[in-house]
Structure 1
Amino acid sequence: MKSTALNLTGSEKNKLCADLWGSAGHPVILLHGGGQTRHSWEKTARQIAQSGMRAITVDLRGHGDSEWVPSGDYTFRAFGTDATTMFRHVAEMCGEAPSVIGASLGGLSALIAETSSGPLIRSLVLVDVTPRMDPEGVSKVQGFMGQRLDSGFVSLDEAADAIAAYLPHRERPGSLGGLRKNLRLHQDGRYRWHWDPVFINGDRNIGAGSEEIMEEVTARLPFLKVPTLLVRGMQSELVHEEHAREFVTLAPCARYVDIGGAGHMIAGDKNDIFCDSVMDFLKEEAFA
């Protein structure tokens, strides 16, 4: 199954590149985590399309083939306003409110949009993310992202070695084709991550004002009325069990499942189990 290119627009009129999988059925938007691209969702998108729904995988602002915003605004609030604009666009295009699957940054973007401007969506899947997360885990993730920001990698193999050292529980892939989509080959012959460095080191980076916006989202969780599934990796370094329990206690329409043997990158660690859990939820809620 092949996808078709789709251009969406963010809140600053910034171009958001997307792929559309399937030609009919309920729309499901998939938003990747920080530092990833839309290509991380290809297996899940194919399964959604094969089930009779439409999957739309999107590169978030500053990531992949989407525009690096001139404002340099990569705060959570900016990603949330992009999501609001995107959800309204897709609803108009498809004639119905979409469901959303969001990993980490993508999940928080969707959550910010829905709690501040909803109702916008039909249902929501949050992949290993809640407004409250372990600070040490967040620091570890952002530290890894910033390690080779300037120097990059001499080869794809070197990048794969760095990822393997960071994620020792995950089997090193036999092919580097997927990794190639997350890196850009620069004129100096070195590979660098496929996202705007200002996302991490700019004045309005992803950490700027994050505590304030997360407190706002947490305070609005009792008003989150869409069916919500939190999928947590049991080995997650970011979302501990107490975070998941707090979330489903505060959000009246939320529930959560644990995926054994998975860390923060659930879809990559245990893709089949992850897809089964998500597909069951989508079929239950999208067609209710």
Structure 2
Amino acid sequence: MRLHTTTWGSGNRTALLVHGLMADHRTWRRVGPALAAHGYRVIAVDLRGHGASARAAGPEAYRPEDHADDLVENLPVGAELAIGHSLGGLVLSQAVERLRPSRAVYSDPAWHLAAGPCGYRPELFTRGKTLTPEQVKGFNPHWSDEELDLEMASVRDWDERTAHGLAPCVGVDLWPSRPAVPSLVALADPSSLVRPEHALMLTERGFELRTVKGAGHTIHRDDFDGFMSVLEGWI
């Protein structure tokens, strides 16, 4: 499926940005220009069902592997850097051997969707369509008014069926067995997706892990400076 892309900069190096569930390229509004200032041509996608990209026929076509295939179809092979957040981290990991970036950064990746009452439930995400700005601010107290406005716009443009497309992944082991390329995992503090025992497992498998203290799940929006600081040595 053809994806909408947004580009910042015109450097000799290429960086790829892949957003999470309910978001789109606008989530990278500060990261994109910052990487461009480091000499990158930065390409951010809107995953299928998000932003200005096309919609699939139904939830069954919103599987992680569908998103991963789209990345391979739409993004250049051999970029110097690829960053994926949450769902974007999951689908990037499923596409990384085909995209072959020099380095990959997985920001609080959704490699395991827990089952049970406190686990992943699509309806909790689809309710996002009905949240008021005040409610969204309550979940994200560190966000500026501009971030809040962009979030509301992104959610309005989001096809909530994508949340149901992830339902078959609940309880499934999607942890990568090894880093296909040198890989950094950036973690929220605490991370609800990568628990301490998972972090130890990933370290043993060859991933480098760094935590942004006090940051929520959307690290690059909760603490932009903290997010950029953990990328030191990777960009």
Residue 45 of structure 1 and its aligned partner are, at CA, apart by 0.6
TM-score by length of 1: 0.72
Label 1:148 to 1:134 Cα distance change in 2 as closer, same or farther (>3 A).
closer
Question: Rg larger in 1 or in 2?
Answer: 1
C-alpha deviation, 1:148, in angstroms: 4.9
TM-score (norm 2): 0.87
- Asked which structure has the greater RCO (Cα within 8 Å, sep 6+), the reply is 2
Contact 2:110–2:193 (8 Å) recurs in 1: no
**Alpha carbons of structure 1 residues 119 and 171: separation in structure 2 relative to 1, 3 Å:** closer
Instruction: Answer yes or no: is 1:239 the counterpart of 2:194.
Output: yes
Q: How many residues align?
A: 232
Matching residue of 2:154: 182
CA separation of 1:230 and 1:138: change in aligned 2, threshold 3 A: farther
Indicate the SS of the match to 2:202.
helix
Displacement of 1:236 in angstroms is 2.1
Alpha carbons 1:229, 1:281 under 8 Å: kept: no
Tell me the amino acid that sits aligned with residue 142 of structure 2.
E
Selected match of 1:35 from 14, 22, 26: 22
Letter in 2 for 1:54: R
Q: Give 2:139's match in structure 1, choosing from 166, 172, 181.
A: 166
Quickly say closer, same or farther: Cα 1:130–1:144, change in 2 above 3 A.
closer
Please show how residues 189-208 of structure 1 align to structure 2 within 5 Å. 193-201=156-164, 205-208=165-168
Q: Structure 2: state its 5+ residue gaps.
A: none
SS class of match (1:129): coil
Match of 2:92 among 88, 110, 113: 110
The answer to whether the 8 Å contact 2:112/2:171 transfers is no
Whole-angstrom CA distance in 2 between matches of 1:19 and 1:119: 18
Partners of 2:28 and 2:6 in 1: CA distance: 10
Mapping of residues 222-261 of structure 1, within 5 Å? 222=178, 224-250=179-205, 252=206, 254-261=207-214
Q: CA deviation at 1:28?
A: 0.6
Structure 1: 5+ residue stretches without partners: 1-13, 184-192, 284-288
In structure 1, which of residues 16, 25, 28 is the aligned counterpart of residue 12 of structure 2?
25
Q: State the distance in 2 between where 1:221 and 1:208 align.
A: 20
1: distance between equivalents of 2:7 and 2:112? 32
Percent of matched pairs sharing the same residue: 23
Instruction: Give SS of 1:19's match.
Output: strand
Q: State the shift of 1:83 in Å.
A: 2.1
Partner Cα distance (1:133, 1:249) in 2: 21
Match of 1:7 in 2: none
- Report the CA distance shift for 1:134/1:200 in structure 2 as closer, same or farther (over 3 A): closer
